[in-house]
Amino acid sequence: MFHSKNNNTFASSTLLTVYSMQLYNKLSAEERRTMIREAGKERLTISFYQYARLGNPELFRNHLFVAFDNLEVLGRIYVAHEGINAQLSIPADRFMEFKNFLDDIYFLKDIRLNIAREQDNESFLKLKVKVRNKIVADGLNDETFDVTNKGQHVNAEQFNALIEDPNTILVDMRNHYETEIGHFKNAWTPDVDTFRESLPIIENEIKQHKEDKKLVMYCTGGIRCEKASAYYKHKGFKDVYQLEGGIIEYHRQVTEKGLENKFRGKNFVFDQRLSEKIGDEVIANCHQCGEPCDTHTNCANDACHLLFIQCDSCKEKYENCCSQECNDIIQLPLEEQKKLRAGHYNSNNIFKKGKSEKLKFKKHV
Please count the residues of the chain.
Answer: 365
| 221 φ, ψ (degrees, to nearest 5) | -125, 0
The beta strand positions in 81-223, using DSSP E, are 83-91, 114-115, 127-131, 152-154, 168-172, 182-184, 214-218
Residue 254: closest CA among 350, 343, 155, 163: 155
Closest CA to 46 of 130, 105, 136, 108: 108
Q: What DSSP line would sit under 256-291, residue for residue?
A: HHT----EEEEEE-SSTT-EEE-SS----B-TTT--
How far apart, in whole angstroms, are the C-alpha atoms of residue 71 and residue 90?
7
Reference 78, options 18, 133, 27; nearest CA is 133
How many angstroms separate the first and last alpha carbons of the chain?
49
With a CB cutoff of 8 Å and minimum separation 6, the contacts of 157 are 253, 257, 259
Question: Active site residue: 219, 299, 314, 322, which one?
Answer: 219
Q: Residue 322 catalytic? A: no
3-state secondary structure of 157: helix
CA distance 155 to 254: 10
Residue 213 CA to residue 229 CA, distance in Å, equals 14
Which amino acid is located at 331 in the chain?
A: Q
271 closest CA partner among 107, 75, 92, 32 = 75
Catalytic residues: 219
